[in-house]
Amino acid sequence: MSAGEGAVVAASLESAIGTVRLARGGPAGAPPVVYLHSAGGEGLGEVASFLGALAAGHEVVAPMLPGFGGSEGLSEVDDMEDVAYHLLDLFDRLGLTGGRRPHLVGQSLGGWAAVEVAWRHPEAVASLTLVNPVGLYVPGHPVRELFGRRLDDLARDTFADQSHPTAAAMHAMASLGPRNAGSVPFELVRPFLEAMAAAAKLGWNPYFHNPRLGRRLVRVSMPTLVIVGRRDGLVPNAVGEELARLIGGARLHHVDDGSHMLTLEHPEAMARLVAEHVAG
């Protein structure tokens, strides 16, 4: 972490459906920000720079959704509605209610989860930031296939910079080929495989969207910022743009040199955008 960043550490919390793994940090009493991860289930090591930059001036909590990153409870949730109520339960257990309502930030799958919370209980969310979100179906602009793809192909769709450490690791894994895949320790690939299994349960059918979501967005009343990477090869920009259009008063921001995993590729810039939105 660079100077001025806060310390973010791994922790856990008991919920109604089991243990939740999370990261948290920042000064107690500062505006609370809850970050919800993508379908890749990025852990603390991957988003440390983004969360650390946010934690310099905010109380940050980043829970792993059920089935991701060691969090329990996947067998207890059937869809994103269940996830939304699980998150509301977590807010209660974390004391993020009333005057301590969280500013909710979600990337991709996490953006969908954030919206599902926001339209059901707008009074529970102080502000909303959606980063390359899924959840809304836009005719003619389907989300590309996530499952069963070569990792190098997926890296090209999700990172503008193929030399980024995560993208480079995906290319390295793909280069091994099927014959040598067995040489990779299972514990190294286990988080990714578990994330894909959890993402499939939540987003397989309908494919990463709620058919009724568009009609519900009129209920999203908190200040909302939608951020899309112009070079996103996984989720069409049209999805985020349509969400911004349907949410009253929402602001839309494009990142010209960004792809899908914006919080990994541009952590400091993304933290600044979130902090400005929270302050506003």
**Residue 4 pLDDT:** 45
- pLDDT beyond 70 at 51: yes
245 has a pLDDT exceeding 80: yes
pLDDT value at position 182? 62
Number of domains into which the chain is organized: 1
Structure tokens at 134: 């899924």
pLDDT band at 201, cuts 50/70/90? very high
pLDDT of residue 216: 98
Q: What is the pLDDT of residue 190?
A: 86
Provide the pLDDT for residue 186. Answer: 61
CATH code, domain with 194: 3.40.50.1820
Burial grade of 190 (CB within 10 A; 0-12, 13-18, 19 or more): exposed
Q: What average pLDDT does this structure show over 17-38? A: 96
The answer to whether position 117 is within a domain reads: yes
- The tens digit of pLDDT for each residue in 261-280 reads 999 999 999 999 999 999 98
Give the DSSP H/E element, type plus range, for residue 106: strand 103-107
Q: Is the pLDDT of residue 120 over 90?
A: yes
Cα-based angle 50, 48, 200 (whole degrees, multiple of 5): 90
Question: Is residue 93 domain-resident?
Answer: yes
The Cα–Cα gap between 203 and 91 comes to 23
Tell me what the mean pLDDT of segment 87-91 comes to.
98
**Predicted pLDDT of residue 2:** 41
- Percent with pLDDT over 70 in the chain: 95
Percent helix, strand and coil across the chain, each to the nearest 5:
45, 20, 35
Q: What is the pLDDT of residues 127-147, one digit of tens each?
A: 999 999 999 999 999 999 999
Contact yes or no for 87/106 (Cβ under 8 A) = no
Asked if residue 3 is part of any domain, the answer here is: no
What are the phi and psi torsion angles at 10 (to 5°)?
-75, 145
pLDDT in the model for residue 6: 78
Q: Are strands 18-25 and 59-63 parallel, antiparallel or unpaired?
A: antiparallel
* Single-letter code of the amino acid located at 193: L
Q: At what angle do helices 109-120 and 80-94 cross, to 10 degrees?
A: 70
- pLDDT at residue 125 tops 70: yes
Q: What are the backbone angles phi and psi of residue 228, rounded to the nearest 5°? A: -130, 140
Establish if 254 belongs to a structural domain.
yes
* pLDDT of the residue at 3: 38
pTM: 0.95
Take residue 189 and report the two structure tokens written for it: 């690939």
- Note whether residue 22 is domain-resident: yes
User: 98 pairs with which residues across the strands?
Assistant: none
Domain range for 212 is 8-279
pLDDT band at 187 (very low <50, low <70, confident <90, very high): confident
DSSP 4: T
Q: Are 102 and 33 in contact (CB under 8 A)?
A: yes
**Residue 27: is the preceding peptide bond cis (ω within 30°)?**
no
Residue 1 has what pLDDT?
A: 39
Q: List the alpha helices (DSSP H) in the chain.
A: 44-55, 80-94, 109-120, 151-158, 165-180, 186-203, 213-216, 237-246, 262-265, 267-279
Q: Does 211 score more than 80 pLDDT? A: yes
Is 2 within a domain? Answer: no
Evaluate if residue 5 carries a pLDDT over 90. Answer: no
Contact of 233 with 156, CB cutoff 8 Å: yes
